[in-house]
A = this chain, B = another copy of it.
Amino acid sequence: MANGDDNSRYFLKSLAKGLNVLQTLAESPNPMALAELSRIVGSNNATVTRICGTLSKLGFVRRDRQRRFHLTPKLLSLGYASMSGLGWRQVAEHYLEELAENTGETVNLSVLQDRELMYLVRINNTGRILPFDLQLGSRLPLHCTSMGKSLLAFADEAELARILKDYEFAPLTNHTITSEEDFRRELHKVRDRGYSLNDEELSYGLRSVSAPIRDLSGRAIAALNIAVPTKRVSLEDMETRLAPLAMETAERIQKALGSMENA
């Protein structure tokens, strides 16, 4: 019945479903029972039973007394291994540490992942001031973060189009940009200045400056930022003092990366 259009012979559905189950569990804040899980992934629960049985026999998933499924830390090894492939990350980390030391602020690095950004490095200098407790691997929206703006301002047009297609500009504060026109205008500004700002657009009390880390073609492969509490650092201070530091660090990383072989 209808192999549709594509290279379907080369796509393993059960593998995709299994990974989808893992992702679903990862995205849910709390463990899930079978029924809920099959509802969300949209499969028959017999199927989900089989998937979870397999995952659990392989040790990626555990079932608690209330028959709910949890991910196990076995997945951690996979996650970390994936980073060691990212040679440039290590290089960047070095410079970020310097930046964190010089500014005394929290410094982050993230990459584009699907339609969000994902943290790859986080150096938290200021004990827990920020309203978010982010870890590596956690994700944030693109439209209301400085790194998101940097990543998109220097993405290629095709990628940008893909992401902005039906993008939902969810308002998280009343500073959040909520329309594509405004956002595109903002991206222009970012391209002009070479850095991007987030002034309480993600969360009240929080500002950040970000600069893109670009490859030789000018495309952003990552973005770094400096995040500060509003009460301690003014917007002007961000622009005059921190923005240049962020850009300078990004440039140094780019230089260092230039001398590496490319994937």
Contacts and interface: CB of A to CB of B under 8 A. Distances in A.
Interface of A: 7, 9-12, 14-19, 22-23, 25-27, 29, 31, 49-51, 53-55, 57-60, 62, 64-65, 70-86, 111, 113-114, 118, 120, 135-139, 262-263
Given A51-B15, A57-B11, A22 B78 contact: yes
B18 A136 contact: no
A18 B26 contact: no
Counting chain B CB atoms within 10 Å of each CB, the highest count among A31, A84, A86 belongs to A84
Counting chain B CB atoms within 10 Å of each CB, the highest count among A49, A80, A86 belongs to A80
A70 B81 CA distance: 10
A59 B82 CA distance: 12
A22 B118 CA distance: 20
A29 B118 CA distance: 23
7 contacts: A11-B50, A14-B14, A15-B54, A22-B78, A26-B81, A29-B84, A73-B118
Given A10-B53, A18-B19, A50-B12, A85 B70 contact: yes
A263 B17 CA distance: 26
A71 B51 contact: no
A77 B26 contact: yes
A110 to B, nearest CB: 10
Please list the 10 inter-chain residue pairs (A to B) with the smallest Cβ-Cβ separation, ordered nearest first.
Answer: A79-B79, A26-B81, A76-B137, A71-B82, A80-B137, A15-B18, A76-B79, A64-B263, A12-B54, A75-B82
Nearest to A76: B137
Given A10-B53, A11-B53, A50-B10, A75 B73 contact: no
Contacts of A70: 82, 85, 263
Contacts of A65: 262-263
Contacts of A51: 12, 15
Contacts of A78: 22-23, 26, 71, 75, 78-79, 137
Contacts of A53: 7, 10-11
Contacts of A23: 77-78
Given A15-B51, A51-B12, A70-B263, A75 B64 contact: no
A76 B71 contact: no
A157 to B, nearest CB: 21
A252 B139 CA distance: 33
Counting chain B CB atoms within 10 Å of each CB, the highest count among A7, A12, A111, A135 belongs to A12
